[in-house]
Amino acid sequence: MAETTKHILVPEKWVQSYSDYLYNYTITRVNNHDLAKDLVQETFFAGLKSMKNFQGKASERTWLISILKRKIIDHYRKINSKKGKAEVRMNFYNDGEREGEWIEERVPNSWSSDTDKDIENKELKSTLEKCIDNLPEKYSMVFRMKTIQGFETEEICKELDITPSNLWVIIHRARTQLRKCMEDNWFNN
């Protein structure tokens, strides 16, 4: 019978060995330093609390990451339940005869400088950064994971415990708001 390695936990070395790895994992998902730092610390605390449940099957790092993933889902649920706050106004009639059609004042304007020669421009990047930061957190988190970090749809859905149709609604709203923000602050400025 093949002998499998039994992993052990050495909590005295956690911060030194894993804090950068866990922090990097978290910051690419939540994009906020203080929050990421807190989630890493909470992960260590939760790890200490449930040390007795560690069976040694997974490595210490994998085990800590599985705790961190739970923390990230909890955080996402928390921001997702804050109803009404900075909700994106929709562009389409959602009932009546004109359901699904553009609401007149939301129709995209043509852009005065819709050239793509300028996409390396530093100011353009900082305008975009500001626009992303202005998104409601639940939208910016999914948008960043999908668009900036390039995660697969399936992976995001699994990590945040949402359905693909949920994800596309969020992406659509995030992009709609970003389009409007870029229109106001860059293209027609």
Partner 1 sequence: MSKFFISCDEATTICDKNQYGEATLFDKVKLSFHFMRCKVCKVYTKHNNLLSKIFGNYAKDHCQKQHCLSNDDKEKIEIEVSKKLK
- Structure token digits, residue 33: 């330093």
Distance CA 81, CA 78 (A): 5
Angle at 150 between CA 148 and CA 156, to 5 degrees: 105
Contacts of 154 (CB under 8 A, 6+ apart): 164
Contact 157, 163 (CB under 8 A): yes
Nearer to partner 1, 37 or 61 (CB): 37
- What gap in Å lies between CA 86 and CA 92, rounded to an integer? 18
Q: What is the CA 76 to chain-centroid distance, rounded?
A: 8
Interface residues with partner 1 (CB under 8 A) are 11-12, 14-16, 19-20, 23-24, 27-28, 37, 40-41, 44-45, 48, 91-92, 99-102, 107-108, 110-111, 114, 116, 119-120, 124-125, 128-129, 146-150, 153, 168-169, 171-172, 175-176, 178-179, 182-183
- By C-beta, is 77 or 108 nearer to partner 1? 108
Smallest separation, CB 118 to partner 1 (Å): 9
Closest approach of Cβ 1 to partner 1, in Å? Answer: 36
Q: Report in angstroms how near the CB of residue 16 gets to partner 1 at its nearest.
A: 8
Q: Could you tell me the smallest distance in angstroms from the CB atom of residue 19 to partner 1?
A: 5
